[in-house]
Structure 1
Amino acid sequence: MPAGKRLARALMTAGCIAAGAAVVAEPSEKERAGINRPEAAQQLPPLRVEVLDGRRFRDIESGTVYRLHGVDTCAPGQVARLGRQPWPCGTVATAWLVAATLNRWLSCATVREEAGEQLARCASASHPDLAAAMVRDGIAVSLPATGIDPEIRAYAAAEREARKAYRGLWASTFQMPWEFRAGRPDPDRVARQERPR
């Protein structure tokens, strides 16, 4: 069969399928009640950001604060030790995020709001998933599963790979960031509470 006839037949078949799909009626309100419709993550327009620490940044236009979902990094002021040499892992995490976001547009999908911040998964042209890249480089650690969030398997696998290669934090002795933060006041939350209204 000549190529022109094959193309015409394929287009006609596709048109029939599309027309048949258009005839399918929308489910009634009663039928919709039994259908699971997961809430899609809210996709935001691209944004430019100001980095606050190794896992959080602020949209420079709206002032909205975003925190990377599924990972944690050393807190500001936190130190790791490579042998007997201390190094500022919190500062290194912040510097990594600055280098990854400076003069770049970010696209973020909000998972939910938590403590006045948008918990989100974000990407740039050079990093399809910022959090995954941080974990792969040994700059961030994957968060364990909680009652609210399951473990993100891709992050856990990237962490195993970074550990095996002794990348970043995994070449050093360090305290897990959530344990380091436990019992320490969050300076940003304290500042927000002390602001005059």
Structure 2
Amino acid sequence: MRRLIFLLVVLFVISAHEAVAEIAGRGSVIDGDTIEIRGERIRLYGIDTPESSQLCDLDGQRYRCGQQAALALADKLGEKTVRCAAKDVDRYGRTVAVCFVGGEDINRWMTFQGWALAYRKYSLDYVDAEDEARVAGRGIWRGAFEPPWEWRKEHPRGGATRP
């Protein structure tokens, strides 16, 4: 019985440690809401950005808004150290985390700049930042776009199409 209790305590401590694990290092951008640090893929928690091949519309002109989102994230990260607080692991095995550069929440920054939407299915943490970006007409809010989750349903292979 003591062994069982000891084993349960050890498992609890390990799982609690993993839930608050910090990942830090230089971040490489995979797409607008995914980075990699030291070989570990990290999905930014609570936000969703246009897919890499997704097109949006600005004044009647199509542009690759997913690529623009990724470029905005890359510019923000630069060569700085990124610190991510792990919250979960998604179905693709990626760590889901809130990440920071110089103490600034980059998930919030991407949403505030208008390159990400609050992913309400998983979190309401960034709804206020999305509202501010929409009102100010920043990022994808400057024109027409399809929410990324809807776009993925219609384009399971990721092909670029008109918004």
- Which bin holds the TM-score, normalised by the shorter protein? 0.7 to 0.9
Bigger fraction of residues in strand: 2
Of residues 31, 41, 66, the one that matches 1:90 is 66
**Which digits, 9 at most, give the CA deviation of each residue in 1:37-94, with x for residues without a partner?**
xx574232521121111111111x3x11001000000101111101211111011011
User: CA RMSD of the aligned region, Å?
Assistant: 2.0
Moved over 6 A (4+): none
- TM-score where L is the length of structure 2: 0.80
Distance 1:140 1:105, change over 3 A: same
Written as runs of structure 1 = structure 2, the 5 A alignment for 1:10-159 is: 41-59=19-37, 61=38, 63-114=39-90, 115-125=92-102, 128-145=104-121, 149-152=122-125, 155-159=126-130
After superposition, the Cα gap between the structure-2 partners of 1:150 and 1:137, relative to the gap in structure 1 and judged at 3 Å, is: closer
Distance between the aligned counterparts of 2:69 and 2:129, measured in 1? 17
SS for the counterpart of 1:121 is strand
Structure with larger RCO (C-alpha < 8 A, sep 6+): 2
* Aligned residue pairs, count: 142
AA matched with 1:151: L
TM-score (norm 1): 0.67
* Bigger Rg over Cα: 1
Query: Identity of aligned pairs, percent?
Result: 30
5+ residue gaps in structure 1?
Answer: 1-28, 30-38, 188-197
